[in-house]
Amino acid sequence: MSLDQLDMRAGEGADLILRRATVLDPVAGIDAQHDVVVRDGKIAGLSPPGDAAAEDLEEIDARSLHAFPAFFDPHVHLRTPGQEHKEDIETGSRSAAAGGYCGVLAMANTEPPISTPADIEALRAGARAAASVRVGFLATVTSAMQGEELTEMASLREAGALGFSDDGLPIRSARVLRRALQYQRLCGGAIALHEEDSDLSGAGVMHEGPVSAVLGLEGIPPVSESTMIARDAALAGYEGGRIHVQHLSAAESVEAVRAAKAAGVQISCEASPHHLCLTDEAVRSLDPHRFKMNPPLRSESDRQALIEGLRDGTIECVATDHAPHAAEEKEVPFEAAAMGVTGLETAFAALHTELVIPGAIELSLLVERMAGGAAPFEIERPSLTPGSEANIALCDLGAEWTVGEDGYESRSSNSWCGGKKLTGRVLMTLAGGQVAYRLRSFSLGVAA
């Protein structure tokens, strides 16, 4: 489906020129300086630098800036309905826009969970009223996430559910997932899986290894994730279904996905910026605001395996697993704190700082993977090809900033990057043809 089938607030299409921007769209094969002309919310053309006639268009001096296809996040928690004190469609989509995203997919583990066509319809209406980027919604695989009865998957699809996930919880029963895969073959929609063997995870609160031993905290072993991936890949292969593995954290998991792909299973997967940038060493601080999440931060060799997976295409996309929490759920001892961190506003900058600048991956690879989350859900990826809807992230790769010093667009502040100095910043985002975000200090300069 095309990106414009996802819901957002109606508004005026942008009319502007990004004068002399360095335009990089690796998928479209664009990598050069251009005047990017946006007219009525569409990319009208890429002209030689300095050539495009200004006419009635707003001019933005972009000579030291990069224009990328805006990003797409297939895994965020907007917390509505039920926990609007943490986030809602308006604040979550604003947070996405501030991070350079033009689209996100919202998980269904709300209160109550999204399990009926009426739930999906209500959320879609909410997005049309309040979303500043395109928002798609997943429904749960099992009714109310109880893990037993399947939801009415076909009617949910008709109501516009873009996929299915019980994220927050694994699907414990192989029989239940098998049945879901059988229905998926009839009604479509990727099944996104939070892979975890709850028996192996037990009461674990961090990665099981030398650091958990020193801290005396209960650990979650990597096999808690990888054994479930292997099981579910086998089920998907057997039924001819399609699965998307969420938030890969362990080397064994990358290996399991790689093996499944080699065997011809329809499987895709994502990794989160915090797992690509941090290890369990960070947990020594016992700071649950930034470093407690599920799956947990793992070892350096796991992190390296994720980076290698990102490089070789085993991992096709970055997903933030943006998980806002209220302060009181985090201002408790590490063991008791809620799991999850926010990530939309910092994903690109963090990965640019931690992986691109040190040379671990190329900028073009990062740009490609930041929007790679659309394809697993059969959504067309954002593109800078003339004629496309304008979905553009305008970035200053040299800008240094401290995360959180100007606050957050998100309603919650449990950013894993809080207080960190990052290099590279999104100055402006066009989403769905509209100007969705503009950094306050980024004033409009009329190009000379």
Which residue numbers are catalytic? Answer: 321
DSSP state letter for 71: E
Residue 139 CB, nearest approach to Zn ion (Å): 15
Give the start-end residues of each E strand in 194-280: 206-207, 219-220, 242-245, 266-271
Q: How far is CA 419 from the centre of its chain?
A: 21
Residue 359 CB, nearest approach to Zn ion (Å): 30
Number of residues in contact with Zn ion under rule CB under 5 A:
3
Which range in 1-9, 88-96, 189-197, 209-217 contacts Zn ion by CB under 5 A? Answer: 189-197
**Closest by CA position to 90, among listed 112, 139, 42, 123:** 123
Let me know the angle formed at the C-alpha of 126 by 125 and 132, rounded to the nearest 5 degrees. Answer: 115
Of 18 and 315, the one with the shorter C-beta distance to Zn ion is 315
192 phi, psi to nearest 5 deg: -95, 130
Binding mask 309-338 for Zn ion (x = CB under 5 A): ------------x-----------------
Of 247 and 303, the one with the shorter C-beta distance to Zn ion is 247
Of 91 and 383, the one with the shorter C-beta distance to Zn ion is 91
- Which residue among 79, 86, 194, 352 contacts Zn ion (CB under 5 A)? 194
DSSP state letter for 222: T
- Which residue among 87, 88, 167, 208 contacts Zn ion (CB under 5 A)? 167
Q: For residues 109 and 389, is the Cβ–Cβ distance under 8 A? A: no
Residue 330 CB, nearest approach to Zn ion (Å): 16
Of 17 and 139, the one with the shorter C-beta distance to Zn ion is 139
Tokens 């630098």 appear where? 49
Which range in 5-13, 166-174, 301-309, 421-429 contacts Zn ion by CB under 5 A? Answer: 166-174
Residue 196 as a binder of Zn ion (CB under 5 A): the answer is: no
Which range in 62-70, 160-168, 281-289, 438-446 contacts Zn ion by CB under 5 A? Answer: 160-168
Radius of gyration for the chain, computed over Cα atoms and rounded to the nearest angstrom = 21
Residue 342 CB, nearest approach to Zn ion (Å): 12
Residue 275 as a binder of Zn ion (CB under 5 A): the answer is: no
Cα–Cα distance, 416 to 126 (Å, whole number): 28
- The distance in angstroms from the start CA to the end CA of the chain is 41
Residue 195 CB, nearest approach to Zn ion (Å): 8
Cα–Cα distance, 411 to 88 (Å, whole number): 8
Residue 244 as a binder of Zn ion (CB under 5 A): the answer is: no
Token digits for 138? 């997943």
Cα–Cα distance, 413 to 87 (Å, whole number): 10
Residue 71 CB, nearest approach to Zn ion (Å): 17
Of 270 and 354, the one with the shorter C-beta distance to Zn ion is 270
Of 309 and 324, the one with the shorter C-beta distance to Zn ion is 324
Token digits for 158? 């008709």
Residue 156 CB, nearest approach to Zn ion (Å): 19
**Closest by CA position to 67, among listed 88, 47, 87:** 47
Query: Which residue has its beta carbon closest to Zn ion?
Result: 194
Token digits for 139? 């429904």
Of 62 and 107, the one with the shorter C-beta distance to Zn ion is 107
Which range in 50-58, 177-185, 192-200, 311-319 contacts Zn ion by CB under 5 A? Answer: 192-200
Residue 409 as a binder of Zn ion (CB under 5 A): the answer is: no
3-state helix, strand, coil in the chain (%, to 5): 35, 25, 45
Give the start-end residues of each E strand in 41-84: 42-47, 58-61, 66-69, 71-76
Question: Which residues contact Zn ion (rule: CB under 5 A)?
Answer: 167, 194, 321
